[in-house]
Structures are given as C-alpha cells and as structure tokens.
C-alpha cells in the first residue's frame, strides 16, 4: 500500500472514530497536537515573534476537560511547566491532579527554523513516545496548524488520521483559491486577477485593473502563500497607470509589508509560488472575520466572529482580534462565511477555516480564506 493510499484509508476511518467517541464516553481517545508552522520558511522569517507561534495551540490543552481525552503536545522547544499549569488551571471543574496525568509533552529540543513536523519525523525517540501514548488509547488523531504532505507522512507513520483539511485540498486556502471560492459562493470580493505566475503578469494585471476600474487608486500584489499579511505589497497608480509606466516604476515603488523584503526577493518568490493582484479597497472602517468548522462527518457549523486588529505601515499585518465582530455587520459576516463553508464542504474540505473581510461603506468584501487553525 502506498503512502497516499494508507493515508486515505486512515482518513476514511474518521467518521467511525467520531461516532465511536460520542457513543463510548469511557474509552480513552488521544489527540496528538502538532503546532507545526509548515509554511514557506523564508516568508515566516519576516513574521515578528514567529518562534513563539507554536504556543498558540496550547489552547488545545483545554480539551482535557473531557475525562476520556488524552493529549500529546509536541513542540520544538521545551515549554515551561509554569505555562503548562497555567493552561490547565483554565479548565473549569477539573483539578490539575486529573488533567496533568492525561497530558504528555514531547519536545524536539530543536529551535532551527524548520517545520516541527519535519523535526518529529527525524526523531525516532519522539515518535516512540507518541506511539506509546497512542497504544493506551482506543483511537487517536493528529491536530495540526495546517496540513501538507509532511503532515500526511506523519499521519501514516503514527497510523492515525489528521483532524484537518486533506493536504490535496490545500489550494482552496491559497490567495487564488480564495478568490475562486468567493465567486462560487456568490459573495463580494475585490476586483482583481488570480493564478498569476510572474512579475510580467503582475504588470499586465495592474494595468488591466486600473483600465477596468479607473476609480481604484492602489493595487495589492499578494504572494499565493503569504502569512499574516507579510506576503503583501502595494502599488499606487500615481507612479504610472499603463503597462510601460508600471513596468518602469514597479522595482522602485512596490511597497512591501515585510520590512526586510526587497523587489528581487519578492519577484523570486512570486515566480516560485505565484499570486494575485487585486484592488486595495478604499475607505475601510473595519476588518472582521468569521470562523467555521467542518467536522469529520462533514457537518458544517459556525464557530465565532471577531474584528481583526491590523497594523503595519498600511494596515495589512494581523496583530490580534476582539470578540465578537461588531453588531452592525456580524450577521452578514457569519452568513457569508457559511456560504463559503458550503463550497468548501462540497469540495471535501474539513477542519477549521476562517474568512477575512473588510467593511467599506455598504460593502462587505471577502479578502481571504485561512484553511487552517488560526490564532483565534
């Protein structure tokens, strides 16, 4: 059996595992939490504080409120016991003497800038500890930040499924995939172009955007796999509007959100991964987001809404959020998020997802899909 077919067999068992969990409230089930940042590592270097992002998934320790749940939490570096105890203290009605024995912390002791999943696969000792915990449970599953081919490999190595989006559907959460999904869902999105593969195509797209929408003052160029807004760059049409003028102006006047980014490095990454061009929506008064979940049995439900706190030179970088989203657009955010969720559900997507919007006047414009566990 190949790795892909082994993985598909594991994933096919997810619905039965979910039904078993509901039916048998006494049998132990194990969640293996792998908060790996399996993204483009060059882009991640531009994200301030990225070395601490694994700790965002310590919230999964709250799953220990359920008596039959055991958690294995994996990390690149050892997490202090004080931090662990703090999270356990947040579980209402469950003393630490009951929750701590059901938690196993597995550290790779490796702070190199590589995905945690890759580090685990290189360490037989870590894998053995996880296997030992799984052997004590009736069933288990991996919970990741996002899912790629190396998470698929880890699932096969451990013999348990991923509680997340199938890696083959990862493209639905790309910048181009987001725009295509928004169109299929029938919701508003910025004018623009997707599936671009070179800076020459960026030039053509910027010129076409201005030609088709003369009122647009600024175009946004986004890398397909940008993270936290750091893969975005702005071009203001005051520097030129037609192809020739844009081509001449772009190297000097494309404004990057990542402080260390250069035109050469951005162009190289764009040629490698592609991206989109779209209008920079003027008059933005808020940046709300809606979160949803597609369960192992394909059930879609709304989870929450929030207002994003954006920073950076041009308000493109995610810095935090406040819950819930403002009342004036909260229901619209939830409704549009669910319409997107229905498209994702029909494609076979699974797990947590979020849809980011901007509010500008009467417009509620969908900006991107995060087809992964976010920081909220």
User: Residue 43 maps to which CATH number?
Assistant: 3.40.50
Flag whether 181 is in a domain.
Answer: no
Is 17 in the same domain as 47? yes
Nearest in space to 158 (alpha carbons), one of 74, 275, 250: 74
Beta-bridge mates of residue 18: none
Q: Is the pLDDT of residue 118 over 90?
A: yes
Flag whether 151 is in a domain.
Answer: yes
Domain endpoint, select from 145, 163, 181 = 163
Write out the E strands in the chain: 29-34, 69-75, 103-107, 139-144, 192-196, 218-223, 232-236, 255-256, 275-279, 284-286, 288-294, 300-311, 317-322, 351-360, 363-370
Is 233 in the same domain as 324? no
Residue ranges of alpha helices (H) inside 24-107 are 41-44, 81-89, 96-99
Sheet containing strand 29-34, edge to edge, reads: 103-107, 69-75, 29-34, 139-144
Q: Is the pLDDT of residue 82 over 90?
A: yes
Q: What is the C-alpha to C-alpha distance for residues 291 and 91, in angstroms, rounded to an integer? A: 23
Is 20 in the same domain as 148? yes
User: Quick one: pLDDT at residue 374?
Assistant: 67
Flag whether 376 is in a domain.
Answer: no
Is 197 in the same domain as 313? no
Mean pLDDT of 161-174: 92
User: Quick one: pLDDT at residue 2?
Assistant: 57
Is 255 in the same domain as 208? yes
Q: List Cα–Cα distances, 337 to 175, 181, 207, 289, 332, in angstroms.
A: 16, 11, 31, 8, 8
Q: What is the DSSP string of 248-269?
A: HHHHHHPEESSTT--HHHHHHH
Beta-bridge mates of residue 286: 359
Is 50 in the same domain as 112? yes
Flag whether 257 is in a domain.
Answer: yes
Domain endpoint, select from 221, 248, 279 = 279
Contact 41, 113 (CB under 8 A): yes
Is 17 in the same domain as 128? yes
Is 206 in the same domain as 299? no
Radius of gyration of the chain (CA): 22
Mean pLDDT of 275-290: 96
Flag whether 149 is in a domain.
Answer: yes
Q: How far apart are the first and last CA of the chain?
A: 38
Q: Which tokens hold the place of 122? A: 């290189």
Is 131 in the same domain as 154? yes
Domain endpoint, select from 254, 279, 304 = 279
**The total number of structural domains that make up the chain:** 3
> Residue 216 sits in which domain range?
191-279
Flag whether 174 is in a domain.
Answer: no
- pTM for this model (two decimals): 0.88
User: Residue 335 maps to which CATH number?
Assistant: 3.30.470.20
Is 139 in the same domain as 16? yes
* Chain mean pLDDT for the chain: 92
Flag whether 172 is in a domain.
Answer: no
Flag whether 234 is in a domain.
Answer: yes
pLDDT band, very low/low/confident/very high, at 318 (cuts 50, 70, 90):
confident
| Helical (H) or strand (E) element with 132 | helix 124-135
Greatest mean pLDDT among 69-73, 143-147, 283-287, 309-313 lies in 69-73
Is 99 in the same domain as 210? no
* Size of the chain, expressed as the number of residues it contains: 376
Is 92 in the same domain as 233? no
User: Quick one: pLDDT at residue 187?
Assistant: 98
Q: What is the C-alpha to C-alpha distance for residues 57 and 41, in angstroms, rounded to an integer? A: 19
């Amino acid at each position: 059996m190949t790795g892909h077919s082994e993985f598909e067999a594991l994933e096919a068992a997810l619905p039965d595992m979910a039904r078993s969990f509901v039916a048998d409230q006494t049998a132990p089930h194990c969640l293996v939490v792998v908060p790996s940042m399996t993204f483009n590592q060059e882009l991640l270097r531009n994200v301030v504080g990225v070395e601490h992002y694994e700790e965002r998934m310590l919230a999964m320790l709250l799953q220990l409120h359920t008596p039959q749940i055991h958690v294995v939490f994996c990390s690149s570096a050892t997490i202090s016991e004080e931090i662990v105890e703090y999270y356990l203290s947040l579980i209402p009605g469950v003393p630490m003497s009951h929750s701590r024995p059901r938690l196993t912390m597995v550290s790779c002791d490796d702070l190199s800038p590589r995905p945690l999943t890759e580090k685990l696969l290189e360490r037989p000792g870590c894998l053995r500890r996880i296997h030992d915990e799984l052997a004590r449970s009736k069933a288990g599953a991996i919970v990741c930040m996002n899912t790629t081919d190396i998470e698929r490999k880890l699932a096969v190595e451990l013999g348990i499924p991923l509680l997340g989006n199938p890696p083959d559907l990862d493209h639905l959460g790309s910048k181009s995939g987001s725009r295509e999904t928004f169109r299929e869902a029938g919701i508003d999105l910025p004018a623009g172009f997707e599936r671009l593969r070179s800076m020459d195509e960026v030039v053509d797209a910027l010129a076409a955007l201005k030609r088709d929408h003369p009122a647009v003052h600024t175009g946004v160029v986004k890398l397909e796999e940008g993270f936290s807004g750091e893969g975005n760059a702005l071009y203001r049409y005051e520097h030129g509007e037609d192809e020739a003028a844009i081509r001449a102006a772009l190297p000097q006047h494309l404004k990057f959100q990542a402080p260390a980014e250069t035109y050469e490095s951005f162009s190289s990454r764009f040629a490698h991964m592609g991206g989109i061009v779209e209008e920079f929506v003027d008059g933005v008064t808020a940046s709300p987001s809606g979160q949803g979940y597609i369960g192992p049995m394909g059930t879609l439900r709304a989870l929450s809404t929030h207002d994003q706190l954006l920073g950076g030179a041009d308000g493109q970088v995610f810095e935090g959020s406040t819950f819930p989203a403002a009342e004036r657009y909260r229901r619209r955010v939830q409704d549009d998020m669910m319409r997107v969720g229905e498209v994702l559900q029909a494609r076979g997507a699974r797990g947590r997802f979020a849809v980011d919007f901007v509010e500008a006047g009467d417009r509620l414009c969908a900006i991107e899909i995060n087809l992964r566990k976010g920081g909220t």
